[in-house]
Amino acid sequence: MNLLILIGNGFDLHHSLPTDYGSFIKWLVKQNLKNVLTNEQGDDDLFVITKENSYVSEMSINPPSMDELVERLLQDHAKKEMTIITTAFKKFKCKLSPNGNFASQIIENIQTRQWVDIEMEYFKQLSIILKNYSQEHPNKANGSNNYNASIDLDTLNRNLTCLTAKLRDYLREVAGNAMANDHFGDIASDPIPSNVIQDKHHLNRLQNDDYDDPENKRYIKPKEVLFLNFNYTTLPNRLHDRFKKFRHINIHGTIHDQNTPPTFGYGDEVGEEYSNMEKTNENRFLTFTKSFAYSQNNNYANLIRFIESDSFCVYIWGHSCGLSDRTLLNMIFEHDNCAAIQPFYWKRPDDTDNFTEMIQNLSRHFKNKQKFRNRLVNKQECRAL
């Protein structure tokens, strides 16, 4: 029996790293605002900050901090107002202008979005462009010029290209030297309770020496532990490997390795919309499909070898199981060797948790709902992250 641990952004957040969507976008705004304050151009492929009516003012004793200016700029953008900014010796007006619908949406939803939502927003905007593309260009073979949708498609892909590059810079700054809590290394090393496995044919494969307690057969020693990291940081790689069983796959690349740059995009290739994108014969619709990124290295092949080698249990640490990874997660969860799936839920300060939300998201990755019911570990046997 092996153990597969899915690592999502909640794992980094649990380590107090500011890797949430809101912190990243505010950092982006701050970088552009710094350029504006030094009389440089404050723009990129995501948005532009324009400055006007600059004039010398009396010295301000308590000028606002950069973080305060960013908050004010975002609030005024939501109200469609100019922002009056006062520095030590100057006063001027600024305006934040997103470049395209995708950039507008991620700016406007800054307080509520998570990483998976950025990818879903990209797919949503891609789907809108697809409809316009089909209306403007009903017959691709006729050679007509699909001008407006083509421009929108290029803008959208430039937006995501820019965001991915900025994301790497940001994560290097805030998470480059972070250390992992070895409590998680202990959990990964601990034996797996046999009572969480309902499909008994997985247990029938085991020998006495596969158990930590051969007489009672209550705890299974995992032969191998694979951390499948969906983040771009490498915190799990720094966990103490008590029994030298840990393996690591950074399926979406890392901020450190130039050979595996961060993979950002969508991984839901089973729906009708994706099929329609393929039928356009326009490769720009497929630029950020995760499956094509997986083919650039052997990470996906190594994952397949692992899950086909033996029965495995799944732990979920901080992964929302959103639809942006649907194809990959469906392959894991419905594989015949998958014995059990145990979500580690998030406990909120008000004593509520997200267990129900997690299993609702999980269910969307199953075509066979009986497999979902049989493999999901009930809440009493689960624990908080």
For 135-165, how does the pLDDT look when each residue is reduced to its tens digit (9 = 90+)?
766 655 334 445 688 899 999 999 999 999 8
Residue 60 structural domain? 21-98
Tell whether 211 is covered by a domain: yes
In this structure, are 232 and 288 located in the same domain? yes
Tell whether 146 is covered by a domain: no
Instruction: Check residue 55 and give its pLDDT.
Output: 62
Distance CA 306, CA 168 (A): 28
In this structure, are 7 and 81 located in the same domain? no
Distance CA 30, CA 361 (A): 34
How many structural domains comprise the chain?
Answer: 2
Q: What value, to the nearest 5°, has the Cα angle with vertex 229 and ends 228 and 232?
A: 160
Distance CA 105, CA 78 (A): 11
The whole-number average pLDDT for the span 287-316 is 95
In this structure, are 208 and 338 located in the same domain? yes
Q: H or E element: which one contains 37?
A: helix 21-37
In this structure, are 345 and 313 located in the same domain? yes
Instruction: Check residue 136 and give its pLDDT.
Output: 65
- Mean pLDDT, rounded, of the chain: 88
The whole-number average pLDDT for the span 322-344 is 95
pLDDT higher for 116 or 257?
A: 257
Domain boundary among 98, 118, 146: 98
Q: Would you say residue 42 has pLDDT above 80?
A: no
Q: Of 170, 172, 231, 149, give the one whose Cα is nearest residue 46.
A: 170
Distance CA 65, CA 57 (A): 18
Lowest mean pLDDT among 28-32, 93-97, 132-136, 297-301: 132-136
Instruction: Check residue 143 and give its pLDDT.
Output: 40
Instruction: Check residue 201 and give its pLDDT.
Output: 95
Half-sphere exposure (Cβ direction) of 131: Cα atoms closer than 13 Å:
5
What share of the chain in percent tops pLDDT 70?
90
pLDDT tens figures, 225-275: 999 999 999 999 999 888 889 999 999 999 887 766 788 888 888 878 899
In this structure, are 93 and 187 located in the same domain? no
Instruction: Check residue 357 and give its pLDDT.
Output: 94
Instruction: Check residue 56 and give its pLDDT.
Output: 55
State whether residue 186 is helix, strand or coil.
helix
In this structure, are 89 and 221 located in the same domain? no
Tell whether 169 is covered by a domain: no
Q: Would you say residue 187 has pLDDT above 80?
A: yes
SS percent in the chain: helix, strand, coil, step 5: 45, 15, 35
Tell whether 136 is covered by a domain: no
In this structure, are 71 and 91 located in the same domain? yes
Q: Are 310 and 223 in contact (CB under 8 A)?
A: yes
Domain boundary among 98, 129, 147: 98
Q: Are 382 and 340 in contact (CB under 8 A)?
A: no
Domain boundary among 71, 98, 125: 98
Most confident of 9-13, 38-42, 331-335: 331-335
Instruction: Check residue 117 and give its pLDDT.
Output: 79
Tell whether 170 is covered by a domain: no
In this structure, are 33 and 15 located in the same domain? no
Residue 14 CB contacts under 8 Å (≥ 6 apart), including other chains: 181, 318, 385
Q: CA dist 217 to 191, 212, 213, 214, Å?
A: 11, 7, 5, 5
Instruction: Check residue 235 and give its pLDDT.
Output: 93
Tell whether 287 is covered by a domain: yes
In this structure, are 41 and 188 located in the same domain? no
Q: Of 231, 328, 289, 176, give the one whose Cα is nearest residue 20.
A: 231
Instruction: Check residue 58 and give its pLDDT.
Output: 55
Question: For the chain, how far is it from start to end, CA to CA, in angstroms?
Answer: 23
Instruction: Check residue 141 and give its pLDDT.
Output: 38
Tell whether 117 is covered by a domain: no
Lowest mean pLDDT among 10-19, 49-58, 287-296, 310-319: 49-58
Structural tokens at position 13: 């957040």
Residue 275 CB contacts under 8 Å (≥ 6 apart), including other chains: none
In this structure, are 238 and 275 located in the same domain? yes
In this structure, are 9 and 80 located in the same domain? no
Instruction: Check residue 60 and give its pLDDT.
Output: 54
In this structure, are 248 and 292 located in the same domain? yes
Tell whether 108 is covered by a domain: no
Instruction: Check residue 190 and give its pLDDT.
Output: 95
Q: Would you say residue 25 has pLDDT above 70?
A: yes
